[in-house]
Amino acid sequence: MTTAHSAEIQLARRLSANPVPADERRRLLAEPGFGRVFTDHMVMVEWQSDRGWHDGRLLPYGPIALDPATAVLQYAQQVFEGLKAYRQVNGAIVAFRPEANAARFNRSAARMAMPAFPEAAFVHAIDALVGQDHEWVPEAAGHSLYLRPYMIATEKGLAGGQPSSSYLFVLIASPAGPYVSGGQSRSVSVWLEPELTRASPGGTGEAKTAGNYAAALAGQLRAHEHGCDQVAWLDAGEHRLVEEMGIMNLFFVYGTGVEARLVTPRLSGTLLPGVTRDTLLTIARDLGMRADEAPISVDEWQAGCESGQISEVFACGTAAVVTAVGTVRSATGSWKVGDGTPGPVTTQLRDHLTAIHYGNLPDPHGWIHKIADSVAVPYWGCIR
């Protein structure tokens, strides 16, 4: 199900009559937390089987009215993305690799039998919203504007068993402080979940879809019951191979310095292919480290930490960027990674990536997308 037409989606613009006052916005931006505060506007675009994408608009942020029998509320046909916009040191507002998120959005949509959203329109929607709500892009170090594009099935009816004939694309934005409380100096403890699984071969683990998150909550609760911060997911077949930590990808560091070698679990079809994961593989190689995608087992993790071969383990994702893993607990034992605190390779990679985000380092791979000035976006004139 794709729509070849409507590569450019017209966005009408209706501005909020009562945006958050400037002093209140400054107060909210001082300590935004994560995903609690939203900007003044949002973008919506409709899809119908007979019309493709249409009726795109930027409008005031607010509730969406849905019939109680709407497909997404019954059968969870939904996909989403998460990416960030940053205010760089030279004042430019940029988004990080939005094209990569647009491409993944459509891979997720295909798996969930949903129509593709044109990648150019995905990036234009981001330009439009961030351009309009640019005053919501925080200035403080480590802060950013988190962007949440998503698509939901909007057909009314309980029949199920077939894809919806209509969809809604939505983009909202939320100023974000550093994700992990206590900052980046802290490392987390992880629970190796022996029974529950996040994803299985042929399933939806590769897709960024809401149902994966709902299915993962019980595992996260089990991690807490075992005194751990986060759950680590193992393969569904044997519970032997390491897949992900919570909603982040994992990296294992063998050795140190320029001799360091990174290993991240290969994309087996049950892992979410993180943009941060892909970015860090590239940065590590740029820094002269070896970085491999390979299977890694729980036994190798434990033995590697006990022998000292594995010096660091960290998790990565857009929201928290890079988080060190300090302690591991399983049904049969527990062990420390290194001395339990964030190690030098973890810190170096995190600092390098955030320096690119904020424009303190050059961007040799073209990852930085400068937000177009909203008045310069050509197809915006039509106000309704």
The residues binding ligand PLP (CB under 6 A) are 82, 208, 244, 247-249, 272, 274-277, 317-318
Q: Cα-flanking dihedrals φ and ψ of residue 235, to 5°?
A: -65, 150
How many CA atoms lie within 13 Å of 378's alpha carbon, on the beta-carbon side? 3
Within 8 A by CB and 6+ apart from 158, the residues are 69, 74
Shortest gap between Cβ of 16 and ligand PLP (angstroms)?
29
Shortest gap between Cβ of 272 and ligand PLP (angstroms)?
3
Tell me the C-alpha distance between 246 and 229, whole Å. 9
Cβ proximity of 357 and 365 under 8 Å: no
Query: H-type helices in 143-288, by residue range?
Result: 210-225, 275-286
Return the bridge partners of 46, or none: 54, 168
Q: Cα-flanking dihedrals φ and ψ of residue 172, to 5°?
A: -125, 165
Residue with tokens 């310069």: 376
Tell me the C-alpha distance between 356 and 363, whole Å. 6
Shortest gap between Cβ of 380 and ligand PLP (angstroms)?
29
Query: H-type helices in the chain, by residue range?
Result: 22-30, 71-75, 98-111, 119-132, 210-225, 275-286, 298-307, 344-357
Cβ proximity of 173 and 180 under 8 Å: no
In terms of C-beta density within 10 A (0-12 exposed, 13-18 middle, 19 or more buried), how is residue 358 classed?
middle
Tell me the C-alpha distance between 131 and 135, whole Å. 9
- Decide the pairing of beta strands 290-293 and 261-264: parallel
In the complex with ligand PLP, which residue's Cβ is closer, 149 or 338? 149
